[in-house]
Structure 1
């Protein structure tokens, strides 16, 4: 074969390859869309019969309220808990001391704490029930899930059972000082325009990042910055710390966001804020005190890997219509 013939043959081969790529691209896109739709989980907001009730201090069953109902209290605190029999008492003691003191100083201030036992294998429910017996079921209620849903699922189930005008999500480990609720409340008040009374105030640990980097390994620092980049690139912009478990919602904002939530594991905070930004709900970020507490359920490498995967899926599933916002579903 001559040089000219060889070049011609090579050129024809490259053209065929290029045509093959262009012809296969639409098919690949269709395949990806189909996979995203088929693998997209539906939001399971149904409750087992046992999850519809809580026990009073004297052991009687009463029905939980609904987020769809008008508020009857000032503040609801939702505490997702999974195998937290050891760490929960420290957090609850601090929270109840603060809330009781605040109520004594201002009798018009009313509150409830809903501890959500996310299918624990230890005595989390029994520990939480001690606070119901001490303070009464009007102030402390325990929602025991029949099976583990994940932190996002536990927070959603607790939030859907709230009575408060404002709803605070607080971790069971007590890593954030409960008195910092005043900081996130001030953040919420600082938002001048609240469309349909919707607003969210997020506690943030971003101001502690430089100090934490100095204490972390190079690998964990790489994972942290990689996760931050994925959050920014795929889902949420303008919020430096999406994962702090100390967030305050107006009741209207909670109903709007949690009604559309799909992710039930670690990345649920990101989807929650992504939904808020899609609905143009004002979100403010407020620096809070935070201390790392031993006993975290988050496994550094695998949990971050799972969250990274979820971030990509969140964006792609909304982009392709596999997931839709609650208002979009209602208008069709």
Structure 2
């Protein structure tokens, strides 16, 4: 049985989650009252079905709708759920940072409220953390073996590719996909990274990878299944595009280094019996100064 083909179904999922110890799942949320009920239901249901020890932290990033009330209603029925509230909208990076710093778990995952990468992909990320000595595992929509079930509309794809080119030129060259909103950390790695983040925007993922490399953490890039949510909260306009470019330039000035394209490749199979096919590799990255 292979983790990347079965999602680790059966005994292996339970064994991985048991070995993980306490798990924290962080969901950043801005005006997500409509999508949160399903996300909370799916995340809690999956983890309960595997007898996992867990907490779910929803970080309300200054929402103007009923996001906080929605979470409070679930809290009344489920003591696994916690609500953190930021007094005003600060950005996804700030919300994830708050959740990571306040988490109680031994293994910490952040995932999006739209569940474009479903919680059932978690065992793919736990495997390199718990069986292969990695400190961080990041979901990837572009690594070999990833599968996109529902793609974005053409203009979002074009914008995403343009952003990817700029990002690789200025900051991060060694990853197929630095921006997937499904990343998992050992506690010690998370606490060595997130308190020091300076980016509150969607670019925080890149700063996370730069900090991880500077601190010598091993990062596995893991192919996942991804489904685009047509009701995405992301809105593209010229003002936001320019703000992203300015943020990229700021990070480039502050870091004065680009994560190198060179990567050492590691691979495994579910039973540890030896090498697996090329599409099942996870890439390990190091920052050299």
Q: Which TM-score band (shorter chain)?
A: 0.7 to 0.9
Change over 3 Å in CA distance of 1:177–1:222 after alignment to 2:
closer
Q: Answer yes or no: is the 8 Å Cα contact 2:150–2:226 preserved in 1.
A: no
State whether residues 151 and 265 of structure 1, in contact with CA within 8 Å, keep that contact through their aligned partners in structure 2. Answer: yes
Scaled by the length of structure 1, the TM-score of the pair is 0.66
Structure 2, unaligned runs of 5 or more: 1-19, 258-289
Q: Distance in 2 between matches of 1:274 and 1:235?
A: 8
Which among 184, 187, 196 is matched to residue 260 of structure 1? 196
Tell me what 2:251 maps to: 314
Sort the Cα spacing of 1:211 and 1:233 in 2 relative to 1 into closer, same or farther, 3 A: farther
Alignment length (residue pairs): 234
Superposition RMSD in Å: 2.2
Q: CA deviation at 1:228?
A: 1.2
- Counterpart residue number, 1:113: 56
1:279 to 208, 211, 215: 215
Structure with greater Cα Rg: 1
Would you say 1:101 and 2:38 are equivalent positions? no
8 Å contact from structure 2 (residues 27, 59) kept in 1: yes
From 80, 83, 106, the equivalent of 2:28 is 80
Q: When you count helix as a share of all residues, which structure comes out higher? A: 1
Deviation at 1:99, TM superposition (A): 1.2
Work out whether 1:234 is the aligned partner of 2:164: no
Within 5 Å, give how 1:48-197 maps onto structure 2: 74-103=22-51, 109-136=52-79, 139-192=80-133
> Structure 1 regions of 5+ residues with no counterpart?
1-71, 104-108, 321-332
Partner residue in 2 for 1:290: 226
For the residues of structure 2 that align with 1:294 and 1:210, how far apart are their CA atoms? 13
TM-score by length of 2: 0.75
Distance 1:278 1:210, change over 3 A: farther
The residue matched to 1:143 in structure 2 has which SS? strand
Note if contact 2:150-2:227 (Cα within 8 Å) is conserved in structure 1.
Answer: no
CA separation of 1:220 and 1:140: change in aligned 2, threshold 3 A: closer
Per residue, is there more strand in 1 or in 2? 2
> Residue 163 of structure 1: CA displacement?
0.5
Q: Structure 1 residues 221 and 127 mapped into 2: Cα distance closer, same or farther (>3 Å)?
A: closer
* Cα distance in 2 between the residues matched to 1:300 and 1:208: 25
